[in-house]
Structure 1
Amino acid sequence: MCPAPLSEPSSTLGPQATADLLDWTALADEIAALLVDDGIQVPPRSVLALAGGASLFVMPASDRTVAMAKLITLTPGNAARGQPTIQGDVVVFDVATGQRRVVLDGPTVTARRTAAVSLLAAQRLAPVPQGPLLVVGAGVQGLAHVQAFVEVLGVREVWVASRSAASAEALAQAARALGAQARVVQDADAAMAHCPLVAACTPGTAVVLSAQPRPDAFIAAVGAYTPTMAELSPGLCQWMAQHGTVVVDTADAGHEAGDLLQAGLDVARLPTLQDMVRQGARPRTGPVLFKSCGGAGWDLAAARLVLRATRTAHSDIGANTGSGAHSQPGSGSP
C-alpha cells in the first residue's frame, strides 16, 4: 500500500502511516548515509525521572536541512496494565524556515529505527547473516527485529524465547506469516548453539543470555540502555571481548551500555558502528557482539527518510495536477 502524501504545512501521522514511510532497507541505508555525514549534530539526550518509575526522554538532532526532536515517555508499569510502555512523538522541522513539517508516531519510529540499526550492523558485521535467528524477548522490538531480518536478510528460520508463552507463540506466528519457519524454545542459552544470529530484545531488567556463543555468531543486544540494566551476563560479554569483536552503536554507550559496563569492559575504547561504516571494516574472525543503546541520530535518519519520501510525493502531485494543491491534513491512517 502506498502511503498517502503529506499535506502542507505539516501533518500528524499515526503508527501505520509512520511505518509505511520507513521501509526496512531504505531506513538501514539512510542510517548508513547519516554515519558518513559530517553535518550531523546529536547532543546528549535528556532523561527526566517521573513518579512511579517512569521516564521522560527528550532527544534532539539535526543535519544541515532537517531538525527533529523526539519526546517520549517510558512507563514500565504500563506492561501490567496492558498499555504501551513507550508513548510520544517525533516532531520534524525544516531548518531553513523553522517550519514544522511532520509529526511522526514516536513508538513506531523507535521500534523501526532500533531494528534497522541492528539490521545495518548485521549486514556489515554478521558472519552468517541469513540465520537461523534466535530472538529473546517477544515484545515490540522482538517483532521489529523479526520483520527486518526476515524481509531484508532472507532469514528463513526463527527461534523465539520469552518469559511469556503467549507472547512467544504470537511472535512465532508473525514470523510464519512472513514466510519463515518458527519455533518457540524454553532455553535461550541452549538455542544459541543452533543460531548464528541472535537478537536480545528484552526490557533489560534481567540477564537472559550467558552461554558461550557459536564462533560465527552475531548478537545484537538492544534492551539495556542504562548502567544498571543488562540482558547479557558479564561472562558472555568478557568472552566476546576476548575471542571476538564488540561494537557499540554510538560513543554514548560508554556511559549507557550496562551489559558491557557491568562486565568491566572499557566501553570508550570499543569501535562504534560509525567507525565500521566509515572504514568499510569487517571483523577479522570470530563472533560479533553489537551493543545498541539507541540515540537521536537514528531518529534523525527516520525523519530524513520521511521528508524525502513526502517531498517526492508532493512533486508528483504537482506534476500530475499542474498545480500546487495538496491533500487536506489528516491523521495519516491508511
Structure 2
Amino acid sequence: MNTPHSTPVAWLDAAATAAALPYPALADAIEALLRDDSVTVPPRLIQPLPAGGSLFVMPATDTTVAITKLITFVADNPARGRPAIQGDIVVFDARDGRRRLLLDGPTVTARRTAAVSLLAARRLARHRDGPLLIVGAGVQGRSHLEAFAAGLGVRAVQIASRSRASADALVAHATALGLDARRVDDADAALADCPLVVSCTSAQAVALRARPRPDAFVAAVGAFTPRMVEWAPAVCRHLAATGTLVVDTRDADHEAGDLLQAGLDVGGLPTLADVVRNTPAWQRARRADGPVFFKSCGWAGWDLAAARCVLAAHGH
C-alpha cells in the first residue's frame, strides 16, 4: 500500500523489462556510463548459500539514479527446471530516495551482459558481421545471439552446446530471426570458421582448448569467479602472447577465472573503459594484429546503465 507521500513504483515484468532495453540502445547507454565520472560502484557482496549457490548484492549510483541488484545464482538450477539467476533490481531516485522502478533481475542480467559484449565488439572486432560462434546455448547464448544480430548485423551463426536439444532450440530461434544458423558438435573445430566468438557456458569445466583465429574477437562470458573456467589456460597464455586482452572492469582482477587460472597478470590489462576513453593504458596494450580476447565478469555499473536506459525509454 502507498503512503500519503509515496509515488507508485513502476514494476516491470520480464517482457516489459526486455522491451525497454533494446540491445543497440543499451550498448550506447553502457558506453555513456563509462564516460561518466559521477558513477560510483562499490565492490559487490557475494554471500555463499548453504546448498552451494550465491546471493549477489550489487549497488551503484550516479548523481540522479541509485540501484541495488539482488539476485541469486545457483549453477545447477536448470537441471531442476529453474533458472540459474533469480531476483530483482530496485531503482531509486538518488536525490530524494524514492523507489522509481523494479526491474526483472534475470532479464537485465542477460541483456546488459550481451550489450557489454556488443559494445566491446563494436570497438574491437575486425570482422563485425561474423560468422559468429556461440558456445553455450542457455540464456546468455540467446541474448548474445540477439544482441550481435541487432547491433552488428550478424547473419550467420554456429551454435555449440553440451546439450544437443538446447543447441537445436537456439538454432530454431536464430532461424526465426532470419539468420543462417546451424548446430556444430565440435566447438574447437568451429573456431577456424568464425571470427566472432562468444563463450557463455556454465563454466564448470574447460569447454574450449583450440586457439581462435588470428583475426578473431572473443567475448568470454561464462566464468565470473576465480574458480570458474571456459578456456584452457594454455590458450589464454597464447592469446596474451600474440593478441590483445581486455577485461570489462577492474573487478575482473580477482574474478576472471579463465585468466587467473592461466597465471596471467589481470591487473595489468586494460578495461573496457580504457578502450572507450582511449587512455594511455589502452594505447600501450593494443596490438595492430592478433586475436582480441574480451573477458567479461559482470559489474553493477552495467545494471545502472540498464536502469538509466529504462528511465529514458519511459520518459523520465
**TM-score, length basis structure 2:** 0.95
Is 1:127–1:287's contact at 8 Å kept on the other side of the alignment? no
Report matched runs for 1:104-123 at 5 Å: 104-123=103-122
Residue aligned with 1:69, SS:
strand
Residue matched to 2:135: 136
1:205-248 CA distances to partner (integer Å, 9 max, x unpaired)? 01111111111100100000111110001011111100000000
Q: 2:292 matched to 1:288?
A: yes
Instruction: Tell me if 1:11 matches 2:10.
Output: yes
Partner residue, 2:66: 67
Matched residue SS, 1:192: helix
- 1:16-51 per-residue CA deviation (whole Å, 9 max, x = no partner) reads 000000011110000000001000000000000001
Are the equivalent residues in 2 in contact too, given 1:261–1:267 (CA < 8 A)? Answer: yes
Q: CA deviation at 1:191?
A: 0.1
> Mapping of 1:50-199 within 5 angstroms?
50-199=49-198
SS in 2 for 1:284: coil
Distance apart, 1:118 and its partner CA: 0.2
Query: Partner amino acid for 1:146?
Result: L
SS in structure 1 opposite 2:51?
helix
SS of 2:175's partner is helix
1:283: Cα distance to partner?
A: 4.5
Alpha-carbon distance in 1 for matches of 2:309, 2:95: 18
- Spell out, residue by residue over 1:55-108, the C-alpha distance to the aligned partner (whole angstroms, 9 max, x if none): 100000000000000000112232111111110000000011110000000000
Query: How many angstroms apart in 1 are the aligned matches of 2:83 and 2:22?
Result: 23
Aligned residue identity for 1:83: R
5+ unaligned residues in a row in structure 2: which ranges? 1-6
Indicate the residue corresponding to 2:311 in structure 1.
Answer: 307
Instruction: Mark the structure with the bigger radius of gyration.
Output: 1
Match of 2:4 in 1: none
1:323 aligns with: none
Distance 2:229 2:77 in 1: 20
1:47 equivalent in structure 2: 46
Q: Distance in 2 between matches of 1:156 and 1:11?
A: 36
How far apart, CA to CA, are the structure 2 residues paired with 1:59 and 1:216?
Answer: 35
| SS of aligned partner of 1:231 | strand
Percent identity among equivalent residues? 63
For 2:301, the aligned partner's letter is G
Secondary structure of 1:51's partner?
coil
Alignment partner, residue 233 of structure 2 = 234
The one-letter code matched in structure 2 to 1:268 is G
Q: What amino acid is the match of 1:284?
A: A
Residue 217 of structure 1 pairs with residue 216 of structure 2: yes
Q: CA deviation at 1:311?
A: 2.4
Name the CA distance, whole Å, in 1 between partners of 2:107 and 2:287.
31
Tell me if the contact between 1:226 and 1:258 (Cα under 8 Å) persists in the aligned partners: yes
Q: Residues of 1 paired with 2:87 and 2:211: CA distance? A: 38
Tell me the TM-score normalised to structure 1 length: 0.90
- The amino acid that maps onto 1:292 is S
Q: Deviations over 1:181-212 (max 9, x none)?
A: 01101100000000000000001101111111
Quick one: distance in 1 between partners of 2:288 and 2:19?
37
Per the alignment, residue 3 of structure 2 pairs with none
